[in-house]
Amino acid sequence: MSEKITFAPISYTGWGALSHLLEEIKRFNAEKILIVTDPFLKDIGLTNQVVNPLQQAGYKTEIYTDVVPEPPLAIGEKLVAYTRDNQFDMVIGVGGGSALDLAKLAGVLATHKGNVADYLNLTGTLQITEKGLPTVLIPTTSGTGSEITNISVLSLETTKDVVTHDNLLADVAIVDPALTISLPPKVTAATGVDALTHAVEAYISKNASPVSDALALQAIRLISNSIRTAVAHGDDKQARIDMSYGSYLAGLAFFNAGVAGVHALAYPLGGQFHLAHGDSNAVLLPYVMGYIRQSCEKRMKDIYDAMGFSSTNLSQEEASYKCVAELKRLVEDVNIPSSLKGFNIPKEALEGLTNDGIEQRRILARSPMPLSKADIYTIYKAAYDGI
Ligand code: NAD
């Protein structure tokens, strides 16, 4: 078997990486730049860390803040229309996955016709053909890996869908952990477990390769080692650095190997109950992994070791059970409710969630254990009860 490996875009990583912004922008000959960010980040002055140097260097900038977490399709349609109407030369996304997903969508669809809905994976009918405007993505959360993937996620009425094409890959990603210091504990926890889930699912994916394995295991090491500190002590520089690298590596891992059952079941939770993406993944992670454990015991033993434990005296089966228990403990330690009940999801919702979960066939296809509708219901039920 062979696979396509993608390591785009050019990336600057590490504390202070933002200082490379201007030298990168120069090569695009842009005059008028659209900055896509969210209103909170503008209010706390974080967006200005990007905008001020651009303005001082003489660039014309426009800050667009009609961005909400888990952006619905309508927000994407509005931004794309605005970008087409206002003739920008390039787009910079500053924020969490929500702002970055919208920025890359705006950059590409600025040079296309039709609605965003026409390009959605499950129901769209149009293909992306053009490269679009140059795009720089600057994450302020350590979670989604959006800065290095070719995916833009949008919330629909009952689930989520994606626009995906290699033209959505940014030209430059700048991953500066200093921009994450202001993340509150709750967002640090949810986005951090999101990144961990990317790495775990990439590692057990049917599309995993030696390349994605290396990325995923290092991401699991960094995140498992530092997430508790990052949540409890947000100003801990080393913990923030580890989380940023962990999220970046996990993004590269899942971009190449794909995600699987946790994400397939998380999308309906986000769509129907507007749970933050990280929370949806976190609450399902131990239950999906517990259910499919038998199909990937060896891989779960490796994950257990990467989480900082030793499986030397354990059988694969024993280590895989312990791995599930440690994943659950980690979610609890960062104060994320470990059951659907804890998120006030009613029991009556489980059937509807199951109906939407089974529709995520492309994602489910990467699960090492095939998941039927009955399996999916059983997993949601276990996650509901918290057992
Ligand atoms: P987010 O972008 O929705 O942000 C969550 C909250 O954190 C917001 O209120 C924001 O204002 C705040 N915030 C962000 N950075 C901050 C900072 N430095 N300090 C203080 N507050 C800050 O959260 P997210 O989890 O990064 O992104 C979620 C979105 O990304 C979802 O729509 C999800 O589906 C999508 N996603 C995309 C990909 C991809 O590959 N494109 C992968 C996974 C998830």
pLDDT at 18: 98
User: Considering only 50-64, 74-88, 155-169, 234-248, which range has the smallest mean pLDDT?
Assistant: 155-169
In a domain, 236, yes or no: yes
pLDDT at 1: 77
In a domain, 69, yes or no: yes
Judge if 165 and 41 occupy the same domain.
yes
pLDDT at 159: 81
pLDDT at 351: 97
Residues with Cβ within 8 Å of 128's Cβ and at least 6 positions away in sequence, in order, are 108, 109, 112, 119, 163, 165, 167, 168
In a domain, 4, yes or no: no
Peptide bond into 9 cis (omega under 30): yes
pLDDT at 158: 80
Output the CA–CA distances (angstroms, integers) from residue 332 to 137, 142, 226, 327, in the order listed: 31, 19, 15, 9
Q: What is the chain's length? A: 387
State percent of the chain over pLDDT 70.
100
CA of 70 to the centre of ligand 1 (A): 7
Judge if 148 and 254 occupy the same domain.
no
CA 80 to CA 68: how far, in whole Å? 15
Long-range contacts from 372-375, C-beta under 8 angstroms, 24+ separation: 375/291
Last-in-domain residue among 180, 203, 229:
180
Judge if 199 and 263 occupy the same domain.
yes
pLDDT at 2: 87
Cβ(164)–Cβ(124) under 8 Å? no
Q: Whose CA is nearest to atom 2 of ligand 1?
A: 96
pLDDT tens-digit readout, 235-258: 999 999 999 999 999 999 999 999
pLDDT at 245: 98
Q: Is 320 in the pocket of ligand 1 (CB under 6 A)?
A: no
CA of 191 to the centre of ligand 1 (A): 7
State percent of the chain over pLDDT 90.
95
In a domain, 1, yes or no: no
Q: Is 277 in the pocket of ligand 1 (CB under 6 A)?
A: yes
Judge if 144 and 203 occupy the same domain.
no
Does pTM surpass 0.90? Answer: yes
Residues with Cβ within 8 Å of 238's Cβ and at least 6 positions away in sequence, in order, are 226, 229
Last-in-domain residue among 180, 214, 248:
180
pLDDT at 146: 98
pLDDT at 20: 97
Judge if 167 and 47 occupy the same domain.
yes
pLDDT score of 7 more than 90: no
pLDDT score of 64 more than 90: yes
pLDDT at 293: 98
Mean of the pLDDT values across residues 77-98? 98
Last-in-domain residue among 137, 160, 180:
180
Total number of domains constituting the chain: 2
CA 387 to CA 385: how far, in whole Å? 6
pLDDT at 160: 86
Mean of the pLDDT values across residues 107-115? 97
In a domain, 86, yes or no: yes
Position 122 confidence tier, pLDDT thresholds 50, 70, 90:
confident
What CATH code is carried by the domain that includes residue 64? 3.40.50.1970
pLDDT tens-digit readout, 152-211: 999 988 888 899 999 999 999 999 999 999 999 999 999 999 999 999 999 999 999 999
What CATH code is carried by the domain that includes residue 335? 1.20.1090.10
CA 50 to CA 38: how far, in whole Å? 13
pLDDT at 199: 98
Ligand 1 pocket test, pick from 36, 38, 120 with the greatest ligand atom count within 8 Å of Cβ, gives 38
CA of 97 to the centre of ligand 1 (A): 4
Cβ(269)–Cβ(289) under 8 Å? no
Q: Is 281 in the pocket of ligand 1 (CB under 6 A)?
A: no
What domain range includes position 62?
10-180
